[in-house]
Chain A
Amino acid sequence: MIIALKPKPQHLPLIATISVLLILYVTASMRYYGFASWYQTTSLLTDSAPLGLAAIGMTFVILSGGIDLSVGAVIALSSILLAQCMAGAEQGGFNFPSYVAIPIVLLVGIIFGGSMGILIRLFQLPPFLVTLAGMFLARGVALNLTASKRLAIVNEPTFDPLVNFLFFGLNLPAIIFIVILVIAIVISSYTRFGRVVYAIGGNERSALLAGLPVGSTTVKIYALSGLCASIGGILYAIGSQSGDASVGYLLELDAIAAVVIGGTLLSGGVGYVFGTLLGVIILGIITIIPTYEGDLNSWWTRIAIGGLLFFFIAAQRVLNSLCIKNTSS
């Protein structure tokens, strides 16, 4: 959009996030040998890909003023469904090649999310409750899909190339994460759908009065979130060469944290998809620091995330009141 030297008030949360990320990255690089390496960066991206995808979808949901608690369960469902589709008959699978199995999984994700959107819209139900029900449903289906909770995907001629793909040290999950991120940024800023998402989150009544397609957009938002989560599940399957019905517990909360740390207001209407990338990377760095620190208890990551969240929520509130003061005087 417009590049100005003086930061606009609406960009301040984003600037705060960038600062935190920079401080975190520089400190970690100076303290830990090998942190500031290409290898570490790519593995950070790969590890964060499933969370990143869920968080991208979540950004649209939160921007519209909603919430989606089902994303972690959908990731698990998608990964186990993919494994199940591709597994041989002796494991109770369908023996599909990956180019059939992946579209099936994506379709399930879209339909699952879209149905929640329809329920939310049609019956005016609170998104929190609908997606909470969706979370239990998806998790339950995932756990019941196979006899074992975990199903390896090995020696699949149509799947192994995806696992082994490398491009400048970036594997497929990392690349897809970046590509989807770019697409999501374009959708949020440069398409009518994206702008309507912001409008609904800003003021739903005004959106209706302005004749914007509030209903269909709501359904699309949750379908998009379902799609993103199912891509996340596929990326998990590629990264771990398996489907796992118990993966992604509480991942929806990490996704919400990443979105909020990325500067998006939980009440909707304000935020950027790019900020979510920053939030995901910040969470990723915090998560791997204990492996460098050695004797540091990994539960410290939870404490750090909690502290950061508090900081960002408070900072947003302060920034907001500052902006209002500045402009009203």
Chain B
Amino acid sequence: MHGIVKTFPGVRALDTVQFKLRHGEVHSLMGENGAGKSTLIKVLTGVYRHEEGTILLNGKPISPRTPLEAQEQGISTVYQEVNLFPELSVAENIFIGREPKKFGLINWRKIIKKAREAMLRINIDIDVTLPARSYSVAIQQMITIARSIDFDAKILVLDEPTSSLDTAEVSQLFNVIRCLRDQGFGIVFVSHFLDQVYEISDRISVLRNGQFIGEYPISELPRMKLISKMIGKDALNTSDLTQHHKSRKNISNNQKIVLNGEHIGRRNSATDIDINIRKGEVVGLAGLLGSGRTEVANLLFGIDSIETGKITVNDKEVKSHSPRSAIKNKIAYTPENRKDAGIIPDLSIRENIILALQAHKGWIQPIRRNEQQRLSKHFIKALNIATTDAEKPISQLSGGNQQKVILARWLAIQPELLMLDEPTRGIDIGAKAEIEKLIADLCQKGMALLFISSELEEIVRDSHRVIVLKDRKKVGEISGDEIQLDRIMKIIASDSKKPVKKLINA
């Protein structure tokens, strides 16, 4: 792929990007969120059409218009979520839409025989007449792979294939990938798990902000260098950049611990996390996308119940943890996805603000109308929400102001702990600064905060203590003057096969 350009209204998602895939190699495509990885893949697989540039397949120019066309030309994709028909048999899943026929009718015997062969080609021996849903997600993914290679694929694109697999399943998948690589397939691998990237790849290409940064053999790109290329900061120069924020006082260890989680974890979520948050303290959760930041917040708030470990709030152990009980314990959480999980678009600003307080009080005691108006007026002023009137539907506000309304909703219950997941995403710089200032003010007043952001600078600026996550595990914890960008990057880059601190699950 050469000089690929793809623009969306207002954004140049790909700016003269190149990508070169050779036969018999596993090539990882790396970049932070919004770097253009998925756009590039979608151009390659025919979901999007590019505006400039050429795609050559074995020297011949191609321009797939639909995923089916790409598939016919030999480019197959396995997506993060498995795209199978769970109730149909494995064999049928592999052959649907192109069933072999005999006398105009589908030849089931041949389908079953060929499906078994296709699965055996990737060393999987299963009963192909059973419905696909009877197998694990990992096997289902192999079924999709078998389907792709039976299409005579030459290129296999694996988009976050491991995100829902456990360790054993990942190694099973990697065996299949290696087996295919040795058969001459070109494999594009996209994953947020750094260890996996280093385990399986032969080569890495890095994208950042829609631009091609470079292509490197795996041996010539140590982790530290990869991360600095991905986030675009030279690790050596970042330390002095953050120096002037170091004036913040350290939170003394005798402040009361508001929330304490010991060894908390859950299958397919974060595992074995130790975390505590003190009164008046901002704890930052740092890590790359997919490192388990949101998962930790979900565990703490009770959206996902914990399977291991225990959570105590104000020294009392929480037995049945749910968002309801969390709110009762004065824990508030603004989720990452404002649109889907936060605002209720058609309700007014006032109604959005009083929501959590009303839930906290219970429906038996409705909040009086003038109390509601007083509250919303107070928060509109206090948080500087730009609106003419509290009765406007929240959907008419800008992203930054919506975020403030959600903050107001939770502040109304006067929480002891406020968890903010990506509060600054998608809002403009001015609003970002205001929210960061608000965080500082709140903790000054003694509130405990958990702050999640994919922008490491924000974490470094605003946190008293930073917990670093990687591959859904805690890999480090730093506080005070240690909180520096290059330090966090170093922790993320360190090989978790040699863990910084080995934790034993009781």
Contact = CB atoms under 8 A, between A and B. Distances in A.
B377 interface: no
B105 A190 contact: yes
Interface in B80-113: 83-88, 92, 96-97, 99, 105-106, 108, 112
Interface stretch (B125-133, B314-322, B462-470, B474-482): B125-133
Contacts of A326: 134
A278 to B, nearest CB: 20
Interface stretch (A195-203, A227-235, A244-252): A195-203
A206 B77 CA distance: 12
B83 A10 contact: no
Interface string A203-225: 10111011110000000000000
B87 A202 contact: yes
A182 to B, nearest CB: 13
B134 A203 contact: no
Nearest to B71: A211
B108 A10 contact: no
Interface string A145-159: 000000000000000
Contact of A205 (B83, B88, B136): B83
Interface string A179-201: 00000001001111001101100
Given A8-B130, A186-B105, A269 B83 contact: no
B88 A328 contact: no
Nearest to B98: A192
Contacts of A328: 136
Contacts of A9: 130-131, 134
Interface residues of A, number: 30
B68 interface: yes
Contacts of B79: 209
A194 B92 CA distance: 12
Contact of B99 (A8, A192, A202, A270): A192
B67 interface: yes
Nearest to A267: B87
B87 A192 contact: no
B66 interface: yes
Identify the interface centre among A190, A191, A196, A212: most chain B CB within 10 Å of its CB. A190
Given A211-B66, A327-B135, A203 B106 contact: no
Contacts of B112: 2
A30 interface: no
B85 A209 contact: no
Contacts, number: 76
Interface in A1-30: 1-2, 8-10
Nearest to A198: B88
Contact of B131 (A10, A203, A212): A10
Contacts of A270: 87
Contact of A211 (B97, B130, B133, B135): B97
A209 B67 CA distance: 7
**Interface SS majority for chain B:** loop
A75 B92 CA distance: 35
A199 B86 contact: no
Nearest to B92: A195
Contact of A190 (B106, B130, B135): B106
Contact of B134 (A1, A207, A327): A327
A203 B129 contact: no
Nearest to A271: B87
B134 A195 contact: no
B108 A324 contact: no
A211 B45 CA distance: 13
Contact of B88 (A8, A202, A327): A202
Contacts of A100: none
Nearest to B89: A10
Nearest to B82: A206
Interface string A93-117: 0000000000000000000000000
A10 B87 contact: yes
A326 B87 CA distance: 15
A202 B87 CA distance: 6
B307 to A, nearest CB: 16
A269 B87 contact: yes
Nearest to A207: B85
Interface of A: 1-2, 8-10, 186, 189-192, 195-196, 198-199, 202-203, 205-207, 209-212, 269-270, 323-324, 326-328
Ranked 7 nearest A-B pairs via Cβ: A211-B68, A202-B85, A327-B134, A190-B105, A206-B83, A269-B87, A270-B87
Given A10-B87, A327-B130, 20 more contacts: A2-B112, A8-B129, A10-B131, A190-B106, A190-B108, A191-B105, A191-B106, A195-B99, A198-B87, A199-B88, A202-B88, A203-B83, A205-B83, A206-B84, A209-B67, A209-B83, A211-B66, A211-B71, A270-B87, A323-B134
